[in-house]
A and B are shown apart, each in its own frame.
Chain A
Amino acid sequence: MALYHSVLDLIGDTPLVDVSALSPNPGVRILAKLEGQNPGGSVKDRAAKAMMEEAEKEGRLVPGSVVLESSSGNTGIALAMICRIKGYRLTVVLPENVSTERRQLLEVWGADIVTSPGAEGSNGALRAAQELAAEHPDWLFPYQYGNPANPKAHYEGTGPEIWRDCPEVTHFVAGLGTAGTLMGVGRFLKERNPDVQLWAVEPPAGEMVDGLRNLDDGFVPPVFTDNDGPALLDRKMIVRARESIEWTRRLSDVGVFAGMSSGSAMAAAVKGAEQLDEGVMVVLAADGGWKYLSTGAWTADLDDVVDRATRLIYF
């Protein structure tokens, strides 16, 4: 352990831990990268820090600036922590159907919260943020879905850390939101070893898609398109809430207390491990379990938790 000058210096360099005890195949090792160890509690500290530093470098952020972002929680929380440290004001557009703890953490760091309708999901939060950004051209809108600093944080941080700690990696499995993690890590690892397989995991679209009024309101993140996502990814699959929660619980059997999107990624890795002869899979555990305690994910009746999770955004 060293002495750090700022909490911002604690972002990144997260541990990779062997969870192969959960692998269904003795030929396949599974390692989890614990992004919950970041000071703001999730992988999003990396992208948030990179986007803010980029804006500062370009002179678009000055003391007293107002920052605006749409987020299902983690990016907002990361930005809130960073803005508090640096003295910026932050407004976050947050869908109403996220866990209470996500909202509470935004309050810890004094962010202003604008709530968007749950039925519109992250799409609705993004649209509302775009409207607010148009009304306030002087605010800084990092726009994580289209900001190159987001994947770059993973190309320069998460990816090299994985390669340093485990050059034997054959598969990288992670949740897909803005695609920042998958595009950044995927590009880095494939440059080192083109045979590395890149697997994306999504939650079921559920109610969010029901709020869609017009197909032309559909959305593919520019971060995904700009990095040639369709060519970079090798597999993309939906993991249902039940499996996600089951594997979130299984992770706790080996002492890994992680959030539900980590359970989704783990479920996908385990399914893949059954289909392989051998391999070394790195699974991204995007956050810790703390923010999901109120959902009863570990302790309540599984059917009840699954039912609640289908109405919750946990990516």
Chain B
Amino acid sequence: MSVSVRLPTILRPQAGGLSEVSAEGGTVGEVVDDVVRQFPGTASHLKAADGGLHRFVNVYLNDEDVRYLAGLETPVPSGAQLSIVPAVAGGGG
């Protein structure tokens, strides 16, 4: 199943300058792995040494942070939108 994945500015140089790529997979983890397979330069930005998500990376499935769904195991329905967003100080009080 093909889903669209939005990449942050900081990852675009590793993905041929694209802001949105298409990747295959039935779970968030499979989709992320397919992005890494297509664009190996993104690997160290997306994955931690233990295979989990990089600590400063949030992945959203239709605007829901997947860490609070089922993490990398979260099923990805067809037509879903995944967004990869670096963790920054958002709201600043």
Q: Do the beta carbons of B89 and A203 come within 8 Å of each other?
A: no
Restricting to B49-93, which residues have a CB under 8 Å from any CB of A? 54-57, 60, 63-65, 67-68, 85-93
**B87: which A residues are within 8 A, CB to CB?**
218-220
Interface size on B, residues (CB 8 A): 23
Q: Do the beta carbons of A209 and B88 come within 8 Å of each other?
A: yes
Give the docked Cα–Cα distance between A183 and B18 (Å): 37
Restricting to A132-182, which residues have a CB under 8 Å from any CB of B? 144-145, 175-178, 180
**A215: which B residues are within 8 A, CB to CB?**
10, 45, 54, 56-57, 86
Nearest-Cβ distance from residue B11 to partner chain A, whole angstroms: 8
**B55: which A residues are within 8 A, CB to CB?**
218, 220
Question: Chain A, 116-137, contact with B by CB distance < 8 Å: what is the 0/1 string?
Answer: 0000011101100000000000
Q: Which of A70, A210, A216 contacts B9 (CB 8 A)?
A: A210
A236 within 8 A of B: yes
Q: Which of A13-21, A71-79, A277-285 contacts B (4 or more CB under 8 A)?
A: A71-79
Q: Do the beta carbons of A47 and B93 come within 8 Å of each other?
A: yes
Known contacts A209-B9, A238-B63, A202 near B91 by CB under 8 Å: yes
A41 within 8 A of B: no
Q: Which of A123, A203, A214, A235 contacts B68 (CB 8 A)?
A: A235
| Chain B residue nearest to A238 in the complex (CB) | B63
Give the docked Cα–Cα distance between A219 and B85 (Å): 12
B40 within 8 A of A: no
Nearest-Cβ distance from residue A43 to partner chain B, whole angstroms: 9
Nearest-Cβ distance from residue A259 to partner chain B, whole angstroms: 12
B17 within 8 A of A: no
Q: Which of B9, B10, B90 contacts A203 (CB 8 A)?
A: B90
Nearest-Cβ distance from residue B20 to partner chain A, whole angstroms: 15
Q: Do the beta carbons of A214 and B10 come within 8 Å of each other?
A: yes
Q: Do the beta carbons of B64 and A205 come within 8 Å of each other?
A: no
Q: Do the beta carbons of B93 and A71 come within 8 Å of each other?
A: yes
**A220: which B residues are within 8 A, CB to CB?**
55-56, 87
Q: Do the beta carbons of A236 and B91 come within 8 Å of each other?
A: no
Give the docked Cα–Cα distance between A109 and B57 (Å): 38
Known contacts A218-B87, A220-B56, A236 near B92 by CB under 8 Å: no
A233 within 8 A of B: yes
A8 within 8 A of B: no
Give the docked Cα–Cα distance between A176 and B89 (Å): 10
Nearest-Cβ distance from residue B14 to partner chain A, whole angstroms: 11
Q: Which of A202, A217, A237, A240 contacts B90 (CB 8 A)?
A: A202
Restricting to A171-202, which residues have a CB under 8 Å from any CB of B? 175-178, 180, 202
Q: Do the beta carbons of A218 and B93 come within 8 Å of each other?
A: no
Q: Do the beta carbons of B9 and A125 come within 8 Å of each other?
A: no
Q: Which of A74, A205, A217, A238 contacts B93 (CB 8 A)?
A: A74
Q: Do the beta carbons of B67 and A122 come within 8 Å of each other?
A: no
Question: Chain A, 244-278, contact with B by CB distance < 8 Å: what is the 0/1 string?
Answer: 00000000000000000100000000000000000
- By a beta-carbon cutoff of 8 Å, the part of chain A in contact with chain B is 44, 47, 70-75, 95, 121-123, 125-126, 144-145, 175-178, 180, 202-203, 205, 208-210, 212-221, 230, 233-240, 261, 313, 315
In the assembled complex, 15 residue pairs joining A and B whose CB atoms fall closer than 8 Å, in A order, are A72-B92, A121-B90, A123-B88, A176-B91, A177-B93, A178-B92, A205-B85, A208-B90, A212-B88, A214-B10, A215-B54, A221-B89, A235-B64, A261-B91, A315-B92
- By a beta-carbon cutoff of 8 Å, the part of chain B in contact with chain A is 8-10, 45, 54-57, 60, 63-65, 67-68, 85-93
Q: Which 10 A-B pairs have the closest CB atoms?
A: A177-B91, A218-B56, A315-B91, A122-B92, A72-B92, A75-B93, A236-B65, A238-B63, A122-B89, A123-B88
